[in-house]
Amino acid sequence: MAVFLLRVVAVVLTVYSVGLVFTSNFNMGNLLVWLLTAAVDCYCIWYRPINRWFAAGVGRIVGIVLLICVVLYAGILVFVSVSGYTNTATGGERAIIVLGAGLRGDRPSLLLRYRLDKAYEYAVQHPDMLVITSGGQGRDEWVPEGQAMRDYLLTKGLNPNRVVAESKSTSTEENFLFSRQILLDQGMPEDVSIVYVTNAFHCYRAGEYARRAGFADPHALPAGISILSVLPCYLREVLAVLYYWVFKSSESGLMHSMVGILSLNKKFFYK
């Protein structure tokens, strides 16, 4: 029965993986899904010899190590899933910072539209809040993300006087650093309360980077994602969180020098 259920999972993962090939660019999240699918498929085909190898000797040690890694990965995955809905918006903030997430030419990607739509709803409910759309221009983008995001919100009906585009940042850290300077230039106090808008899986890291940028008590406004994006985004975010815990900054460590080489766009590690 267990083998049958695993084969069902293998079929679902295989179909899902093929769908990713035709619906999204190459990125770390998709790569992790493909590796997971390959591992499950291989086990379904050769599970008897694999089980024998893991039963004794070196295979047993490798199996224990793999099990520990899987448990840790699953634990961080749960943490990422839950943390996106902690320390959420209170309604008492002075400004809304919307984090960029890629364009398709000059139009926000689907992932980014989820963020912008969530920000728009909150901005309508709180008309006194300033809105900052934050994101620079990638190699495959026609305009800076911050500009395209601002245009999107204005098209939906927000007053142009309350939406400011930050168009130089290339990472989540810079999103907050540059947005904080805009707020100070607008005459807001150093301890200004802000709410940042990003997809739920990204909220934990975004909050940590906001604090590092000088925001004392940033609140999260988690946006959703499409069903097809769930597995790649959450699997990838586990590695991104681990990377943050080790290096604290996307400007240091091994991955910084590899961004742009291992992916077809700038967001190999999701900003």
Please indicate, yes or no, if residue 146 is contained in any of the structural domains: yes
251 belongs to a structural domain: no
Dihedral (Cα; 24, 29, 34, 38), 10-degree rounding: -170
- Number of domains forming the structure of the chain: 1
Decide: residue 147, CB within 10 A, 0-12 exposed, 13-18 middle, 19+ buried.
Answer: buried
List the CATH number of the domain containing 196: 3.40.50.620
The answer to whether position 39 is within a domain reads: no
| Residues 33, 16: Cα–Cα separation, whole Å | 9
Residue 253 binned pLDDT confidence (cut-offs 50, 70, 90): low
Sheet with 130-134: strands ordered across: 163-166, 130-134, 95-99, 194-199, 219-223
pTM of the model: 0.87
pLDDT digits (tens, 9 = 90+) for 198-243: 999 999 999 999 999 999 989 999 999 998 899 999 999 999 999 9
* Residue 33 phi, psi (nearest 5): -65, -45
Q: What pLDDT score was predicted for residue 270? A: 39
Q: Return the pLDDT at 265.
A: 40
> Is 204 a member of any domain?
yes
Least confident of 14-28, 68-82, 177-191: 14-28
pLDDT at 257: 52
Q: What is the pLDDT of residue 157?
A: 95
- Where in the sequence is the domain holding 184, given as residue range(s)? 95-225
Question: What is the Cα–Cα distance from 234 to 238, expressed in whole angstroms?
Answer: 6
Q: Is residue 125 assigned to a domain?
A: yes
Task: Tell me the longest C-alpha to C-alpha distance in the chain.
Answer: 69
**142-153 per-position pLDDT tens digit:** 999 999 999 999
From residue 162, give the alpha-carbon distance in Å to each of 28, 69, 194, 221, 222: 36, 47, 15, 19, 21
User: Is position 198 within any domain?
Assistant: yes
* 215 within 8 A of 180, measured Cβ to Cβ: yes
Residue 48 belongs to some domain of the structure: no
**SS3 assignment, position 165:** strand
Cβ neighbours for 107, distance < 8 A, ≥ 6 positions apart = 148, 152
